[in-house]
Amino acid sequence: MKQASHLASLDFIDHGFYNADDFQNDPDPILMNQVHSADTLFLTEKPSNPPAVDALITKTPGLNLTVKTADCAPVLLADPSSRMIAAVHAGWKGAFQGVLEATVLNMLRHGAHPDTIYAAVGPHIQCPSFEMGKEIKALFPQTEENFFEMKEGKIFFDFDAYVIHRLKRAGVKSVETIGDDTYPDHNYFSYRRDPKNPGRQFSSIMIKGGNK
């Protein structure tokens, strides 16, 4: 199963949110050694080894930027005005630390324009499934209390709304979310559902052309 998004209206890119089976046919992925950080990297060529970052950015055609997830949010961005793309691994820790804002800022440094950046958020764990401890909730400022819900004495985190909030705060005006919940939906892998053997799904974006 491969899902596209409103990024499909941009004719200079290919992209998709996959499960593992569909991804087998995706060409030459550039993966990250994802470390739940706010670190980003601008690429002009394929690195020899997966870099220890949580976001990749490029203007080079043919570089297939790829995110692995199993409950975290894969975020794909594209700016047609500068013909630039990015792929972000946004777990709650990375989003909290500012990986989305850091990615947009790095894009701007390389010539992107915030008013023309499109963002698509792929399948990830949703609020009804995302129970969070009070010690984690305490890390968030009071201005972000609205992203938490109390049900039967338990705390649930609206991660989807939080990711959109952080993208909007970075200046991205066009944001779409797929909305699928990886925890109950067995079309997707979920670390919370199967922590001993969760597997990973992949999300990728590439500028058309090039020799990669």
Give the start-end residues of each E strand in the chain. 2-3, 13-18, 29-30, 41-43, 55-58, 64-69, 73-79, 84-90, 118-121, 148-151, 154-157, 174-177, 201-207
pLDDT score recorded for residue 123:
96
Query: What distance in Å separates the CA atoms of residue 159 and residue 192, rounded to the nearest whole number?
Result: 14
pLDDT score recorded for residue 160:
98
Q: Which residues contact 186 (CB under 8 A, 6 or more apart)?
A: none
Which stretches of the chain score pLDDT less than 70?
Answer: 1, 20, 23-26, 211-212
pLDDT score recorded for residue 22:
73
pLDDT score recorded for residue 181:
96
Q: Is the pTM of this model over 0.75?
A: yes
pLDDT score recorded for residue 79:
98
Tokens 């990749």, located at residue: 56
pLDDT score recorded for residue 198:
82
pLDDT score recorded for residue 174:
96
Tally DSSP H helices, then E strands, for the chain.
5, 13
The number of angstroms, rounded, from the C-alpha of 128 to the middle of its chain's C-alpha atoms is 20
Give the start-end residues of each E strand in 7-147. 13-18, 29-30, 41-43, 55-58, 64-69, 73-79, 84-90, 118-121
Vertex 90: Cα angle to 178 and 180 (nearest 5): 20
User: Where does residue 42 fall: left (phi above 0), alpha (psi -120 to 50 degrees), or beta otherwise?
Assistant: beta
